[in-house]
Amino acid sequence: MAHGGFPQPRRHRGRGSVEDGSGRRHIRARVAFAPMQTPLRRALPNAITLVRLALAVVFFALLERIDRTATAAEITTLGAWGMGLFATAALSDILDGHLARRWGVVSTFGRIMDPLVDKTLVLGGFIYLASPLFAPIPEYQMIGSGIAAWMVVVILLRELLVTGLRSYIEARGIPFPADWSGKLKMFIQSFCVGCCVYVGTRVEPYGWQVFLRDASTWATVLLTVLSSITYIRRAMHIPAEGSAAGSATPKEPRR
């Protein structure tokens, strides 16, 4: 109290502290608020994942309806609808992951089902693209998907290899998350499936469409092989089981 009994106003001194009239400094507490986890927020990302699984089933059913004896207009319509369904399902993968991380509601169900649904959608798409349903139809001037069976074998082998490595390493309590090569590979693969479905069912597609189909196809094969090498190299740097250094958890690689 000073100057006629009135308290002096508080003076700020430095960040996060104040000084009252008595000269004593007080530290202002900072409270960090965690994202509010309502039942809707906890359920929505997983619900989007299940919707993506349902879209994958509808996508496969639509591709199954492609009849090589049908008219060119019918095949083109089915291809356009298939590409739209696939694009919607692929974009939902970005949405559910973003919401789960932003709201802090990452769950065990999501960690298991999200990559499983992604692989079902993409690998299933490649299997259909390599089937006779997407072979060229010369009488309609349709050039087909451009996906060969050996390309699908390479993609499947990579997924089995990485899944096996991740299961073994994480079972030892060592994190083995996806790196930049895996995420880029997933993006290019998704683009490739949608592009091949669309271009493969067009009558006399434009030259730039054929170029996109071929470029995305070979980029998919190349990135699939390169990402396999990066995962193998990461696994080789992890200490062998039972070694003294194996008890220490390595730092998660920067993304």
Q: Running DSSP on this structure, what letter comes out for residue 135?
A: S
pLDDT tens profile 93-113: 888 888 888 888 888 888 888
Query: Model-level pTM?
Result: 0.77
Nearest residue to 72 via CA among 207, 205, 202, 210: 202
Q: What is the DSSP string of 184-216?
A: HHHHHHHHHHHHHHHHHT-SS--HHHHHHHHHH
**Average pLDDT of the residues in 32-51:** 77
CATH 1.20.120 fits 39-237, yes or no: yes
* pLDDT for the residue numbered 12: 46
**Tens-digit pLDDT profile for residues 139-164:** 999 999 999 999 999 999 999 999 99
* 212/29 Cα distance (integer angstroms): 56
